Chains A and B, each alone.
Chain A
Amino acid sequence: MSGAPIDRYRRRLLGGAVAAGTLTLAPGVFLHRLAEAKPEAEPVTAAVRWGLLVDANKCADCSVCVDACREEHGWDGHGRPRSDAQWIRKVELRDQTSGRQLSLPMMCQHCAHPPCVDVCPTGASFRRADGIVLVDKHTCIGCRYCMMACPYKARSFIHEELSDQKPYSPRGKGTVESCTLCVHRVDAGLAPACVDACQRDGRGALTFGDLNDTNGALRRALAEHATTQVRADLGLDLGVRYRGL
């Protein structure tokens, strides 16, 4: 009976054994694969909470993550930085006293208590059981309340008619969008495109994993180092954590 793979998946989830591994495709090309992909007929569960750790000490003055995201989801701009789509952006910080400079990526923080979901009048903005905050563009009316509610300026609005979208990343005029944590890749057992790109071409500043898995790479990194949540005072319980801020 075909129920067998699901039982195994459940057992592994409950046992907390979803460990991150690395699959070598060709010399120098790595595909970071979470040990077991979710069976495609299984709904996501709250047993997993996907999260991301950004190590500002490693993050260099490059834009590999941003380029990878743009390539993956096809949100190329129209040369209008104030209104162009922006799923992830690089932020430069400078301490005025010491002169210490930091460069780090900022995107949807995948809050456990997302303000965008609170304000959405149609229920289009929602949080999936596994912690990924998404926009259901089928019900989005483009009111942009969520853009105003987000403390991280993570969301953008599509002003232009589009064509040739990626099959796994539908985008259309009149809807709001933001980082999906590459939900199509995560459901297939892969890490988000920015994480893969940073490991491959950057300095390995991004760690993706399950915040609930105490043996996972993410939880081990969080246990080992002091990390912060941006605007922790808001109490939103973020899925994206920063080290070295």
Chain B
Amino acid sequence: MRRLLPALLLLAAWPALAAPADGAGRVPLPAVDAGAGGQCVEPVEFMRRNHMELLLHQRDETMHRGIRTQRHSLRNCINCHAVDGAGQPVTLDDPEHFCVSCHRYAAVKLDCFQCHTGTPEPGVPGVVGADAWSRGLAATDPRGANP
């Protein structure tokens, strides 16, 4: 019986654990529109967990050392992602905004936009490919590439 109980509990919880990842489960996933990019600067799985680390690192590099590579900059995120399917800018008031939709879902307060603008610059495309800093210079820079 002692062995049977956990097995029964697992069986009871199975539908919830096995919920498909496409949002059809009990808890709806946020409707994230990836915007114009189509392809992110890093793999999506990596960005989901680490985008804040990249932004924090880039923030200090830009502010204090004047390093202005675009690849991991907040501006680049916004220019690529804060647009709808038709390429029109999406403002922070819109629940479909790329950053807002996920942060609302996860209930994580987002304070970047108290100072930074959340709407893309008109006519400035995002940079997806590797730029000099994160790829080409990694070999020559003693600190290596961005994480």
A173 at the interface (CB under 8 A from B): yes
List chain B residues, Cβ under 8 A from A166: 117
The 8 Å CB contact of A172, one of B114, B132, B141, is B114
Nearest-neighbour CB distance to chain A for B146, whole angstroms, equals 10
- Nearest 10 interchain pairs by C-beta: A172-B115, A2-B136, A41-B133, A44-B66, A43-B65, A170-B115, A172-B114, A40-B68, A3-B140, A170-B116
A1-60 CB contacts (< 8 Å) to partner B: 1-3, 6, 38-44
Apart from the given pairs A40-B133, A164-B117, A167-B116, 10 other A-B contacts in the complex at a CB distance below 8 Å? A39-B132, A40-B68, A41-B69, A41-B133, A138-B63, A163-B117, A167-B75, A167-B117, A171-B115, A172-B114
Q: Given A3-B140, A170-B116, are A44 and B65 neighbors across the interface (CB < 8 Å)?
A: yes
A and B contact pairs by CB, cutoff 8 A, 8 listed: A41-B67, A41-B69, A42-B66, A43-B65, A128-B64, A167-B117, A175-B115, A187-B66
B76-135 CB contacts (< 8 Å) to partner A: 78, 114-117, 119, 121, 131-133
Stretch from A100-108, A129-137, A227-235 forming part of the interface with B:
A129-137
List chain A residues, Cβ under 8 A from B66: 38, 42-44, 128-130, 183, 187
List chain B residues, Cβ under 8 A from A164: 117, 119
Interface size in chain B (residues, C-beta < 8 A): 26
Nearest-neighbour CB distance to chain A for B115, whole angstroms, equals 3
Contact B59 A138 (CB under 8 A): yes
Complex Cα–Cα for A184 and B70 (A): 13
Q: Which size class do A's interface residues fall under?
A: 35 or more
Nearest-neighbour CB distance to chain B for A73, whole angstroms, equals 12
Contact B75 A1 (CB under 8 A): no
Chain B positions 16 through 31: 1 when the CB is less than 8 Å from some CB of chain A, otherwise 0: 0000000000000000
Nearest-neighbour CB distance to chain B for A127, whole angstroms, equals 10
- Closest B residue by C-beta to A170: B115
Complex Cα–Cα for A165 and B63 (A): 17
Q: Given A1-B136, A40-B132, are A165 and B67 neighbors across the interface (CB < 8 Å)?
A: no
Nearest-neighbour CB distance to chain B for A118, whole angstroms, equals 18
A145 at the interface (CB under 8 A from B): no
B137 at the interface (CB under 8 A from A): yes
Contact A40 B121 (CB under 8 A): no
The 8 Å CB contact of A40, one of B69, B116, B119, is B69
Chain A positions 156 through 192: 1 when the CB is less than 8 Å from some CB of chain B, otherwise 0: 0000011111111011110100000001100110000
Complex Cα–Cα for A164 and B114 (A): 10
- Closest B residue by C-beta to A183: B66
Complex Cα–Cα for A173 and B114 (A): 7
Complex Cα–Cα for A38 and B133 (A): 13
Nearest-neighbour CB distance to chain A for B130, whole angstroms, equals 10
Contact B68 A165 (CB under 8 A): no
Complex Cα–Cα for A188 and B68 (A): 9
Nearest-neighbour CB distance to chain A for B90, whole angstroms, equals 14
Nearest-neighbour CB distance to chain A for B10, whole angstroms, equals 46
Contact A137 B132 (CB under 8 A): no
Most buried by B among A39, A126, A130, A175: A39
The 8 Å CB contact of B140, one of A1, A44, A137, A138, is A1
The 8 Å CB contact of A137, one of B69, B78, B115, is B115
Complex Cα–Cα for A172 and B117 (A): 10
